[in-house]
């Protein structure tokens, strides 16, 4: 059962009416369900029961401290892509020994901080990065655990902005160069080769690209083994898609796990995964209020108080999010463009939606728990939304709404 469901005509997050959340905390705000986050984590974890594994939650999907802390308490590790995310994970009580560090542009300072924190592994994305990590580890008198992120050249069949496993993408080291690079890494004194990883993209709705990538990675694992390079883990990245709309049919977590487990049958290396969206997307909604209705000859616009700065996915990827009224009605639906107040025609949250709406109504933009708040900005000097975590009948503010004064606190006038 979804954590967001109608009861007595009102949409609830677990046991709390969304109307009540808006009344207490204002709009726009993000609303998350602790039960839904927990269930998604447990589903993923349970699906891989048959093989030693570690979930490294991809922090960039939703980096709120309360969410990181919740996953840490469930036993999760973390996949970070910046020094900022490292600091967040540590502040949230995450175990540094369960952190993998991905990303093509790790700075010297980020590498140093991660080494000092004692992370599980650097997911290295280039030959130059390998050299840099070796040098910094040497200066700190440490041994840096490394994995090479290989680019398996597999088409993830997703939006081009979130496809990462093709030769044309900036990510990882070329498949054909991987063996040579591992041999080079073996010769670097301050590195300890611990794994291999790949991540081919996000919002994948088919298992085939996952199994194709896993096969390519496994072939390398066997070659490395034959060459005397033994790995302790194999990290197959994240990317499992979720259902944003009814026609979308991402594989179930069990189908995904079965396909992966088949591909690694007989191997004893620990499996790592970096799911982001799967763990958080459907555990959150963006709650927004209708300010104005503007009926026109061509289009009807419902102007809401949430905007592209709060939820960028529609503007950036033309992504579709389901939109539900917080109060059920029997009024006749009309066709609406759900738009925000930002001065861009790309500022829409939904187009062509059949809804019965009135000024002052509350709308819930669904599946907003991943890449919602974490991609938000202050464009148009809009303070970022509050974030509320519902837990049964309780609600907790896990991030206060920003104030306008905070937005320009770091700015100064010319002398």
Ligand X SMILES: *Cc1c(COP(=O)(O)O)cnc(C)c1O
β-pair partners for 147: 123, 195
CB neighbour burial string for 25-55, b if at least 16 within 10 angstroms, e if fewer: bebbbbbbbbbbbbbbbeebbebbeeeebbb
d(CA 409, CA 404) in angstroms, rounded, equals 9
Nearest to 369, CA basis, from 286, 302, 272, 310: 286
Site for ligand X (CB under 6 A): which residue of 83, 165, 275, 350? 275
Contacts to ligand X from residues 286-345, by CB under 6 A: none
Q: Nearest approach, Cβ of 159 to ligand X (angstroms)? A: 11
Residue 308 near residue 375, CB atoms below 8 Å: no
Q: Nearest approach, Cβ of 164 to ligand X (angstroms)? A: 7
Contacts with 141 (C-beta within 8 Å, 6 or more apart), sequence order: none
**Other beta carbons within 10 Å of 78:** 29
β-pair partners for 53: 271
Q: Is the Cβ of residue 86 or residue 342 nearer to ligand X in the bound state? A: 86
Q: x/- contact string, 92-121, with ligand X (CB under 6 A)? A: ----------x-------------------
Q: Nearest approach, Cβ of 369 to ligand X (angstroms)? A: 11
Q: Nearest approach, Cβ of 344 to ligand X (angstroms)? A: 25
> Would you state the structure tokens that stand for residue 253, as one six-digit string?
């977590």
**How many chain residues are in contact with ligand X, going by CB under 6 A?**
18
Q: Is residue 237 at the binding interface for ligand X, with CB under 6 A as the rule? A: yes
Q: Is the Cβ of residue 203 or residue 288 nearer to ligand X in the bound state? A: 203
Q: Is the Cβ of residue 83 or residue 237 nearer to ligand X in the bound state? A: 237
Q: Is the Cβ of residue 58 or residue 355 nearer to ligand X in the bound state? A: 58
Task: Please pick, among 29, 56, 121, 343, the residue that the annotation labels catalytic.
Answer: 343
Q: Judged by CB under 6 A, which stretch of 252-260, 276-284, 393-401, 406-414 contacts ligand X?
A: 276-284
CA dihedral in degrees (96, 100, 105, 106; nearest 10)? 30
The SS3 of residue 396 is: strand
Q: Nearest approach, Cβ of 45 to ligand X (angstroms)? A: 15
Contacts to ligand X from residues 166-205, by CB under 6 A: 199, 202-203
Residue 191 near residue 133, CB atoms below 8 Å: yes
Answer whether the bond into residue 341 is a cis peptide, omega within 30°.
Answer: no
Beta strands in 97-143 (DSSP E): 99-101, 121-124
Q: Is residue 238 at the binding interface for ligand X, with CB under 6 A as the rule? A: yes
What values do phi and psi take at 90, rounded to 5? -65, -40
Q: Is the Cβ of residue 195 or residue 325 nearer to ligand X in the bound state? A: 195
Site for ligand X (CB under 6 A): which residue of 58, 99, 115, 120? 58
Q: Judged by CB under 6 A, which stretch of 231-239, 322-330, 331-339, 387-395 contacts ligand X?
A: 231-239
Active site residue 343: yes
H-state helical runs in 140-197: 178-186
Q: Is residue 165 at the binding interface for ligand X, with CB under 6 A as the rule? A: no
Instruction: Sort residue 67 into left (φ over 0), alpha (ψ -120 to 50) or beta.
Output: alpha
Q: Judged by CB under 6 A, which stretch of 219-227, 273-281, 303-311, 379-387 contacts ligand X?
A: 273-281
Q: Nearest approach, Cβ of 52 to ligand X (angstroms)? A: 20
Site for ligand X (CB under 6 A): which residue of 12, 60, 98, 190? 60
Which residues lie near ligand X (CB under 6 A)? 58, 60-61, 79, 81, 102, 199, 202-203, 237-239, 274-278, 370
Which residues are designated catalytic?
Answer: 343
């Amino acid at each position: 059962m979804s954590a967001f469901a109608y009861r007595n005509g009102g949409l609830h997050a677990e046991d709390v009416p969304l109307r009540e959340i808006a009344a207490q905390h204002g709009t726009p705000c993000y609303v998350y369900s602790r039960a839904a986050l927990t269930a998604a984590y447990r589903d993923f974890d349970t699906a891989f029961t048959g093989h030693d594994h570690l979930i490294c939650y991809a922090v960039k999907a939703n980096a709120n401290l309360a969410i990181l802390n919740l996953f840490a308490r469930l036993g999760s590790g973390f996949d970070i892509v910046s020094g900022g995310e490292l600091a967040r994970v540590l502040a949230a009580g995450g175990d540094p020994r369960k952190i993998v560090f991905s990303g093509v542009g790790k700075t010297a300072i980020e590498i140093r901080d991660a080494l000092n924190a004692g992370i599980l592994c650097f997911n290295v994305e280039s030959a130059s990065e390998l050299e840099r990590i070796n040098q910094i580890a040497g200066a700190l008198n440490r041994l840096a655990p490394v994995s090479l992120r290989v680019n398996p050249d597999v088409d993830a069949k997703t939006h081009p902005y979130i496809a990462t496993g093709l030769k044309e993408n900036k990510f990882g080291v070329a498949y054909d160069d991987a063996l040579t690079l591992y041999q080079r890494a073996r010769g670097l004194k301050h590195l300890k080769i611990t794994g291999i990883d790949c991540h081919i993209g996000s919002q994948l709705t088919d298992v085939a690209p996952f199994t194709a990538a896993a096969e390519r990675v496994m072939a390398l694992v066997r070659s490395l083994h034959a060459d005397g390079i033994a790995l302790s883990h194999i990290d197959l990245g994240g990317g499992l898609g979720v259902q944003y709309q009814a026609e979308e049919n991402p594989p179930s977590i069990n189908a995904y796990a079965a396909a992966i487990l088949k591909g690694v049958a007989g191997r004893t290396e620990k499996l790592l995964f970096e799911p982001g969206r799967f763990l958080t997307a459907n555990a959150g909604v963006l709650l927004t209020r209708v300010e104005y209705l503007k009926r026109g000859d061509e289009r009807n616009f419902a102007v809401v108080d949430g905007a592209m700065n709060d939820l960028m996915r529609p503007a950036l990827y033309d992504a579709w999010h389901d939109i539900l009224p917080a109060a059920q009605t029997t009024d006749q639906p009309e066709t609406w463009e759900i738009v925000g107040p930002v001065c861009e025609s790309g500022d829409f949250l939904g187009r062509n939606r059949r809804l019965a709406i009135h000024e002052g109504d509350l709308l819930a933009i669904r599946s907003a728990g991943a890449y919602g708040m974490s991609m938000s900005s202050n464009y148009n000097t809009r303070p970022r939304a509050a974030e509320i975590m519902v837990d049964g009948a309780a609600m907790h503010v896990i991030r206060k709404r920003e104030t306008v004064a905070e937005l320009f606190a770091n700015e100064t006038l010319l002398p």
